[in-house]
Amino acid sequence: MSESLDVNVALGPRSYHISVVSHQFDRFAETLETWMSQSPAYHNAIQEGHKTAFIVTDRNLSKLHTTHIEKSLTAQGWKWETAIIEPGEKSKSLPVISELYDRLVAMKADRQTVLIAVGGGVTGDAGGFVAATYVRGLPFVQVPTSLLAHVDSSVGGKVGVNHSQAKNLIGAFYQPVGVFIDTSTLETLPERDYRSGLAEVVKYGVILDAKFFQYLEENVAGLNERDPEVLRNIIARSCELKAEVVEQDEHERTGLRAILNYGHTFAHAFEALCGYGELMHGEAVAIGMIYASTLAEKLDLISKHDTERQIHLLSALGLPVQLPEGVSLSADDIIDRMKLDKKTVGGKLRFVLPTCLGRVEVFKEIQEALVREVLAELEHSATATDDFQI
C-alpha cells in the first residue's frame, strides 16, 4: 500500500489536493510549492522565488509539529514567521484575529504570502478566517494535527470565528490551496481525543459507504494500535467521502451537507445538557448515532442488526454507546434542547437517519412521542455483546 495517498477536491477553479502521508513533514515545503505552481494565481510567485509564509499555530503545538514545518520551509528557502495563539475556542474571536492582522501588516504580507494553519479545528478555523479576509484573500494551507480535524474540519472550506452570542456566527467559505495530513501527529494525540475522532470516521461509513464501514470492522486492531497504513487509508477515504458531499453542496444551499450531521441532533443535546467537559464531541456523536439508528429501527427504515453493528464497532474502538453512568437527562430537557438545533424548522424535529448501512436521508416532522420512546428505551441500555457476528 502506498505511503502517500492523494485526494482531489473538485471545485473547478477552487479545486485542491489533500495529501495523506506518514512521517513526511520534511517534504511539506516541496509539496506546498507543487500545489502553488499548479495554481494560475500563485504559479509566478513560486517561479520568481517569492516564498513567504505566515504560520498560525497554538501554544501546545508550537514546539511539537510546527517546528517540522518551519524546518522544511527553511530548507526550501522560504522566509516565515510564526504566530502562536492559545488553545481552545477563546482564540476563535475577533480580538485574536485582529492581533494576527497586526502581525501580517508588520511583516508586509501581500497576496502571495501563504498562511499555514498548523493545529486542530480551532487553529484551522481562525487561521482560515484570517486568510479569507486579509487583503481579500491569502493562499491558505491546512496542516491539521488531530484526527477530527483530519477527517472533518480541514475539508470543505468552512472558516470562521465565534460571536459572544453564538458559535461560528462570523465566517466564510474559503477553500485552501491544499491540505497536508501527516499521521505522525496522531502518535502524540491523547487517547480520548483520538477515539473521539474515530466516531466521525465511523459516521462516514454509515452515511455514505457500507464497504468502508466493513473495512473499519475488519481493521479494529490497526485502528486501536494507530497503525500508519490503516490510518492513511481511513483518513483518505473519509476525506474522499466528505469531498463528494462538498463538491455537490459547497455553500450549504441544497441541503445535501445535512447528511454529515448523522447522530448530531441527539449529540448536541447531550453535549449541552451534560455540561462542558463531560462528553467530547465525538463521544456524544457516537452515542447520538445509536439513538438515531434506534429511531430508524422504529420507523422500519433499518434492521436491529444494522444498529448492533454500529454498537459493536463503536464499542470495539473504545467509544461510548450510552450516556455515562450517573448522568440522568430528562426527556423534556433533551427534546427542548433539540428544538433549539439549527436543523429544526418551525419547532418540528428533523433527523438524519439511515435507510441502510451506507445511506442516510433527512426525515422531517418526526413524531415527538417516538423520540421519547427511544430516549426511554436506551437510557443506559445500549451495550455490545462479545458473541456478535457481522
Tens-digit pLDDT profile for residues 25-49: 999 999 999 999 988 888 887 888 8
Burial of 82 (0-12, 13-18, 19+ CB in 10 A): middle
Q: Is 187 annotated as a binding residue?
A: yes
Q: Is 48 annotated as a binding residue?
A: no
Helix (H) or strand (E) holding 51: none
Q: Is 122 annotated as a binding residue?
A: yes
Output the nine-digit C-alpha cell for 91: 482564540
d(CA 231, CA 225): 10
Q: Is 158 annotated as a binding residue?
A: yes
CATH 3.40.50.1970 fits 4-187, yes or no: yes
Bridge partners (DSSP) of residue 18 are 7, 179
- Which residues neighbour 196 within 8 Å (Cβ) at sequence distance 6 or greater? 147, 148, 280, 281, 282, 283, 319
What pLDDT was estimated at residue 1? 44
* Residues identified as active-site: 136, 158, 200, 242, 252, 257, 261, 264, 268, 281
Q: Which CATH superfamily is domain 191-378 in?
A: Dehydroquinate synthase-like - alpha domain (1.20.1090.10)
Cα Rg, the chain, nearest whole Å: 21
Phi, psi torsion values for 373, nearest 5 degrees: -60, -45
d(CA 159, CA 172): 6
Q: Is 222 annotated as a binding residue?
A: no
Q: Is 358 annotated as a binding residue?
A: no
186: left (phi over 0), alpha (psi -120 to 50) or beta: alpha
Q: What is the pLDDT along the chain (390 residues), one digit of tens a residue?
A: 458 899 999 998 898 999 999 999 999 999 999 999 988 888 887 888 889 999 999 999 988 899 999 999 999 999 999 999 999 889 999 999 999 999 999 999 999 999 999 999 999 999 999 999 999 999 999 999 999 999 999 998 999 998 887 778 899 999 999 999 999 999 999 999 999 999 999 999 999 999 999 999 999 999 999 999 999 999 999 999 999 999 998 888 888 889 999 999 999 999 889 876 689 999 999 999 999 999 999 999 999 999 999 999 999 999 999 998 888 899 999 999 998 765 555 567 899 999 999 999 999 889 999 999 999 998 766 665 555 566
**pTM for this prediction:** 0.93
Helix (H) or strand (E) holding 262: none
- Which residues neighbour 329 within 8 Å (Cβ) at sequence distance 6 or greater? 270, 273, 274, 323
Q: Is 66 annotated as a binding residue?
A: no
Domain boundaries, the chain: 4-187, 191-378
